[in-house]
Amino acid sequence: DVKVTQSSRYLVKRTGEKVFLECVQDMDHENMFWYRQDPGLGLRLIYFSYDVKMKEKGDIPEGYSVSREKKERFSLILESASTNQTSMYLCASRLGGNNEQFFGPGTRLTVL
Amino acid sequence: EDKVVQSPLSLVVHEGDTVTLNCSYEVTNFRSLLWYKQEKKAPTFLFMLTSSGIEKKSGRLSSILDKKELFSILNITATQTGDSAVYLCAYRNSGTYKYIFGTGTRLKVLA
């Protein structure tokens, strides 16, 4: 079975802090994704990576950056956290081609 | 702009009922449509429908894709309380890695 793990289930940070969210997949998937999920807005794509060191902006990249130095790991970085970044963050991975995405358990981030 | 619309937004049924969830999409160049079930955690994959696989079935769940009319339905027969969840659909266009998600249908099954 595909396993996607995220570094924290719950995280509380203060405004202005730098926040790192880590995602690791163990199935040698090429593509990895970061979403945020908010009530009434559904899942929105922040960034995705189609290969190591390759990344593309999604629909809401402002305030975020990403890093993919190794194939199995995709990091989301909030350079200076703000209260409007309080959300559920979901990581996903996909083998490539026309295959389905698999999601990690999510990180619920609260920015005070 | 590509988008996905799911209906109804929410639904309450009793155990044993059959439900039909709808997902319509406006796309420029369809490649695949996915259905997910989300309980109080991350979405879990249910089905993927493509041009070569427009009907899928697994137990009490089934889904069809109508590429001409640009919609998909997810059917759940003999519902159980464990089916209570938010059901998400997402599609992907050719030539892109991105999926576009709908906002989901919240299903509650009463005992």
Are A106 and B32 an interchain contact pair (Cβ–Cβ within 8 Å)? no
pLDDT above 90: residue B6: yes
* Tens digits of residue pLDDT in B60-99: 999 999 878 788 999 999 999 999 999 999 988 887 778 8
Residue A85 structure tokens: 């970044």
CA–CA distance, B73 with A74 (Å, rounded to integer): 33
Residues of A engaging B, defined by a Cβ cutoff of 8 Å: 31, 33, 35, 40-45, 48, 50, 56, 58, 90, 98-106
Nearest-Cα residue of chain B relative to residue A31: B97
Element (H, E) at A10: strand A10-13
Token pair 């190591």 is found at: A52
Segment 67-106 of chain B within 8 Å of chain A by CB: 88, 90, 92, 97-99, 101-104
* Tens digits of residue pLDDT in A87-107: 999 999 998 776 788 999 999
Calculate the CA dihedral of residues A32, B84, B16, B44 and round it to 10 degrees. 10
Show the CA angle centred on residue A67, arms to residues A63 and A71, nearest 5°.
Answer: 145
Token pair 């999926």 is found at: B99
Which string of b and e fits A13-45 if b means at least 16 CB within 10 Å? beeeeebebbbbbeeebbbbbbbbbeeeebbbb
Q: Which is it for strands B85-93 and B105-110: parallel, antiparallel or unpaired?
A: antiparallel
Are B97 and A100 an interchain contact pair (Cβ–Cβ within 8 Å)? no
In this prediction, residues B8-14 reach a mean pLDDT of 96
* Tens digits of residue pLDDT in A1-59: 668 999 889 999 999 999 999 999 998 999 999 999 998 888 999 999 999 999 999 99
CA–CA distance, B55 with A70 (Å, rounded to integer): 37
- Asked whether the beta carbons of A55 and A47 are under 8 A apart, the reply is yes
CA–CA distance, B39 with A99 (Å, rounded to integer): 22
| pLDDT band at B41; cut points 50, 70, 90 | confident
Q: How many CA atoms lie within 13 A of B79 on its CB side?
A: 22
